[in-house]
């Protein structure tokens, strides 16, 4: 929640913002839903290297980095046309 207070004196204005942060989102259970068994064989054994873990705070940057990590993993294993845009969280 954000609350602002505006004070005007002569030709100057002062704005004070009071920000109340909510509780952060925490990642619960992680489940992989991979329909292609060949991709399954590459991705699942590498989950120990995942950047996303149960109990961590939700961070969009870490999810984006995980998408790039999986894309690189698959390209290094012969899936040269794979793009991270196919992955959804």
Residue-range domain boundaries for the chain:
25-86
| Mean pLDDT in residue range 44-64 | 95
- pLDDT grade, residue 89 (50/70/90)? confident
Using the predicted structure, report yes or no on whether residue 58 has a pLDDT greater than 90.
yes
Closest CA relative to residue 49, chosen from 25, 76, 86: 76
What pTM does this model have? 0.72
Mean pLDDT for the chain overall: 92
Query: According to the model, what pLDDT value does residue 82 have?
Result: 87
User: Which SS3 state, helix, strand or coil, does residue 64 take?
Assistant: helix
| Mean pLDDT in residue range 59-81 | 94
């Amino acid at each position: 929640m954000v609350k602002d207070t505006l004070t005007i004196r002569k030709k100057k204005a002062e704005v004070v913002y009071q920000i109340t942060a909510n509780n952060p989102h925490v990642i619960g259970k992680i489940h992989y839903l991979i329909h292609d068994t060949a991709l399954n064989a590459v991705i699942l054994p590498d989950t120990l290297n995942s950047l996303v873990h149960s109990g961590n705070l939700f961070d969009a940057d870490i999810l984006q980095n995980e998408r790039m990590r999986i894309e690189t993993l698959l390209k290094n294993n012969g899936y040269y046309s794979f793009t991270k845009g196919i992955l959804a969280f």
